[in-house]
Amino acid sequence: MSNVENLSPQCIRQVVKELQDLVKTPPEGIKVNLNEQDITDIQAYIEGPAGTPYAGGLFKVKLILGKDFPQGPPKAFFLTKIFHPNVATNGEICVNTLKKDWKPDLGIKHILLTIKCLLIVPNAESALNEEAGKLLLEHYDDYSQRARMMTEIHAAAPKPPKPGLESEGPMAKKHAGDKKVAADKKKLLKDKKRTLKRL
């Protein structure tokens, strides 16, 4: 549902300009998808930061601008499943920047960078996911393992095709060895999902 008609023309111009700037010069590890039909539907991909259980993952996030934006903060959600203290099971993100610390001059770039920082430094004190918050504080290794497993299952970044391989023609056929590797990966992923369900 679009909120474009609820925003002032000045606010719409500002949001469009900021989104275009983010597409032209994206912050490191963040890629914004522009929805020209509805600029209040802001979606971006955030790369899991190195040195965290989210490394190697690609996480889709969504910002929803309310009719009181920019006076009121947008709502933010992870569309990709993630195990994180500050992310509810429905994907809602809890961070002070989107609550009591919100200021109308904070832009979309600032919000996306804050969400990325949350992947580096989770805040167990304001946990929406109590289990993740408790594990983070009491058993970091278990927390890290569970977060890494969820990342591997739900946020695996697509692998780019190998250079020189064509997508059509005789070279496109997979060798028997490739099929075995793919089957092994599938089995490993299935085992991880089964383990996750038991947790």
Q: Mind listing the pLDDT tens digit for each residue in 96-135?
A: 888 888 998 999 999 999 999 999 999 988 889 999 999 9
The pair of three-digit structure tokens given for residue 124, joined into one six-digit string: 């167990």
Active site residue 117: no
Above 70 in pLDDT, residue 178? no
pLDDT of residue 179: 58
Give yes or no for a contact between 29 and 116, defined as CB atoms under 8 angstroms apart: yes
What CATH superfamily is the domain 4-126? Ubiquitin Conjugating Enzyme (3.10.110.10)
Catalytic residue from among 65, 94, 132, 135: 94
Mean per-residue pLDDT of the chain: 84
pLDDT for the residue 186: 63
Strand partners of residue 32 = 44
Sorted by where each begins, the domain ranges of the chain are 4-126, 169-199
pLDDT value at position 197? 59
Chain segment 71-89, per-residue pLDDT in tens: 989 999 999 999 999 999 9
Q: Which of 6, 14, 1, 7 is nearest to 106 (CA)?
A: 14
pLDDT at residue 162, as a whole number? 57
| Buried b or exposed e, range 107-138, using 16+ CB within 10 angstroms | bbbebbbbbbebbeebebeebbbeebbebbee
Is the pLDDT confidence value at 31 over 50? yes
Q: Is the pLDDT of residue 60 over 50?
A: yes
Q: Does an H or E element contain 186, and which?
A: helix 176-198
CA distances to 92, 114, 146, 151 from 82, rounded to whole Å, are 11, 16, 10, 7
